[in-house]
Amino acid sequence: MGANLQLYTFNDDKSPADIKEHWRIIQDELESDLEIPLCYSGTVKELSRGVDFKHQVMSNRDEAEDYIAGNQEKYGRAMAVKYREPDNTYKWLVGGWCSE
């Protein structure tokens, strides 16, 4: 079975606790949208509950995406990586590998 990388972006004004709570809501909503809850959806609802935060800051979004793609375990907890935007603001990239 194939996999696709599902990613969400959060502004840096969100605390890790805020991101964890919003992530829980995203997964809950995706779960409730399914007619058959145990089927593969190709969405982040298939990831384990919770978010693992990495404390290093990536220099751009591409680097953050590459880090998640290379280090997050398929179906494991989502991974969150902070990165710098071209305007020197920061954002969080959150996600992981899901089934296709």
d(CA 10, CA 42): 21
Query: To which residue do tokens 């593969």 refer?
Result: 40
Q: Tell me: the pLDDT tens digits for 80-98?
A: 999 999 999 999 999 888 7
Confidence of residue 6 (pLDDT cuts 50, 70, 90): confident
Q: How many residues does the chain have?
A: 100
CA-closest candidate to residue 5, choices 81, 83, 70: 70
CA atoms within 13 A on the CB side of 66: 7
Q: Tell me: the pLDDT tens digits for 20-57?
A: 888 778 777 776 655 555 555 555 556 667 798 998 99
CA-closest candidate to residue 22, choices 46, 44, 54: 44
Structure tokens at 2: 């194939």
pLDDT higher than 90, residue 67: yes
pLDDT value of residue 54: 94
At 44 the three-state DSSP class reads helix
